[in-house]
Copies of this chain bind each other. A is one copy, B any other.
Amino acid sequence: MKIALTSDNIAGASDSVLEAMMAASKGDAMPYGNDEATAEVTTMLSELFECDLDVFLVSTGTAANVLSVSAMTPPWGSVLCHTESHLMNDESTAPEFYTGGARFVGIEGADAKMDPVLLKKVVSQKVGDVHSCQPSAVSLSQVTEVGSVYSLDEIRALTDVAKSAGLPVHMDGARFANALVALGCSPAEMTWKAGVDIVSFGATKNGTMASEAIVVFNKALSKELGFRRKRGGHLHSKMRLLSSQMIAYLTDDLWRKNATHANAMMALLQEGLKSVPGVVINTPAQANMLFCTLPAGMAEHLQAEGFAFYGGRWEEGVVRLVTSFRTPAEGIDAFVASARRFADSV
């Protein structure tokens, strides 16, 4: 059984999400989010996060991220995030565009997690100096770009630094559910209880077709977002398309079940690869993404056998493997078996 581990965005949507989209099409509904389903999303997220909050649905993760940070920084500010973050590497200049030309400053740290000591140096740098961009917000990715997961203590270490300097904190939660399942904590614990002001609550990679929620805990930041979403062209007229997906995603813990499956498949994969001679785990996968180094020829062998994944973009031999809510265990077994066959043959 040949599987693709290219990304979790190559899978479609869960059945219940599709059914919800079908059902949502019936009858008339007021446009632009003035419908009942959209109100229902806010109620459900409020229950999930155990607090009062504001929600802005959009259809892409980039929109969720850049709208969120745009509400946190003036155009002469800087947003501090990891050097390897999605925001700084994979969203073109959307961050600059939406913030009116703020600067995105990379903070280093092992496993694509910002080092709080380095962050501390930057948050108070040249504050008040008109010649320098002014530290204005912190954005962290949970899961990170290399598949690691911040522990609650690690999140708190960063938000403490941010708060001590008066900066709001954004969490890029494109793989929010995968991180949560990995930590085994509650959504509240991983966000506002840990000092997060806004989270990009991603669903598209974990079971919907296109639905992301900007969830705002610090409601002082909400006021602008309605205007910013509209002028970004991200206010859907038939909002029920987005809200129906999100409702299904939140119903009966679908989000958790999907992430649990994806993470389990990754655990299976990682466990299997560890026992394959020559394979090196670069960053131990805690969620559903793994960077590892394959011995010479193994990547080509696997691809020739029909398995798909990204390689050739990083150091020699490094490949990225991503599982999703739809990855079959048989596929993982087949992948590991193929890798083993190659290792045994050389």
Query: A233 is contacted by which of B62, B100, B205, B224 (Cβ under 8 Å)?
Result: B62
Cβ–Cβ contact B228 & A76, under 8 A: yes
Question: Which listed residue (B30, B61, B132, B234) contacts A90, Cβ 8 A?
Answer: B132
Given contacts A60-B236, A76-B92, contact A25 B231 (CB under 8 A): no
Partner pick for A93 among B67, B75, B210, B235, CB 8 A cutoff? B75
Asked whether any CB of chain B lies closer than 8 Å to the CB of A89, the reply is yes
User: Among A16-24, A109-117, A165-173, A265-273, which stretch is in contact with chain B?
Assistant: A16-24
* Residue contact A204 to B238, C-beta cutoff 8 Å: yes
Q: Evaluate contact between A31 and B60: CB separation under 8 angstroms.
A: no
A279 contacts chain B at the CB level, 8 A cutoff = no
Given known contacts A12-B26, A12-B29, is B130 in contact with A209 (CB within 8 Å)? no
What 0/1 pattern do residues 226 to 263 of A give for CB contact below 8 A with B?
11111111111110110000000000000000000000
Q: Is A97 an interface residue (CB 8 A)?
A: yes
> A101 in the interface, Cβ–Cβ < 8 Å?
yes
Q: Do the beta carbons of B18 and A21 come within 8 Å of each other?
A: yes
Shortest C-beta distance, A212 to chain B (Å), equals: 10
B12 lies within 8 A of A27 (CB): yes
Contact of B238 with A209 in the complex, beta carbons under 8 Å: yes
A96/B102 in contact, CB under 8 A: yes
Among candidates B27, B29, B63, B233, residue contacting A98 with C-beta atoms closer than 8 Å: B233
Asked whether, in the complex, the Cβ of A93 is within 8 Å of the Cβ of B133, the reply is yes
Interface presence of A154 (CB below 8 A) = no
* B130 and A229 contacting across the interface, CB-CB below 8 Å: yes
Q: Which of B77, B101, B131, B226 contacts A97 (CB 8 A)?
A: B101
Q: Tell whether, in the assembled complex, residue B94 and residue A96 are in contact, meaning their CB atoms are under 8 Å apart.
A: no
Q: How far is the CB of A14 from chain B (nearest CB, A)?
A: 9
A18 engages B25 (CB within 8 Å): yes
Complex alpha-carbon distance, A74 and B74, angstroms: 11
Residue tally, chain A, CB below 8 Å to B: 72
Cβ contact within 8 Å between B24 and A12: yes
Q: Once the chains bind, are B22 and A18 in contact (CB under 8 Å)?
A: yes
A218 at the interface (CB under 8 A from B): no
Whether A97 contacts B231 by the Cβ 8 Å rule is yes
Distance to closest chain B CB from A213 (angstroms): 15
Query: What separation, in Å, do the CA atoms of A236 and B245 have in the docked complex?
Result: 15
Residue from B90, B130, B204 within 8 A of A92 (CB atoms): B130
Asked whether A103 is an interface residue with its Cβ less than 8 Å from the other chain, the reply is yes
- C-alpha gap A229/B62 in the complex (Å): 11
Q: Which of A3-11, A188-196, A332-340 contacts B (4 or more CB under 8 A)?
A: A3-11
Interface residues of A in 198-230 (CB under 8 A from B): 204-205, 209-210, 224, 226-230
Tell yes or no: A91 within 8 A of B by CB. Answer: yes
CA distance A241 to B30 in the complex (A): 22
Q: 28 A–B contact pairs at CB < 8 A?
A: A4-B28, A6-B30, A10-B31, A22-B22, A25-B209, A60-B233, A60-B235, A61-B237, A62-B233, A66-B233, A74-B224, A74-B227, A75-B231, A76-B92, A76-B228, A90-B132, A92-B132, A93-B102, A93-B231, A96-B103, A97-B231, A99-B101, A100-B100, A103-B104, A204-B238, A209-B241, A232-B232, A234-B234
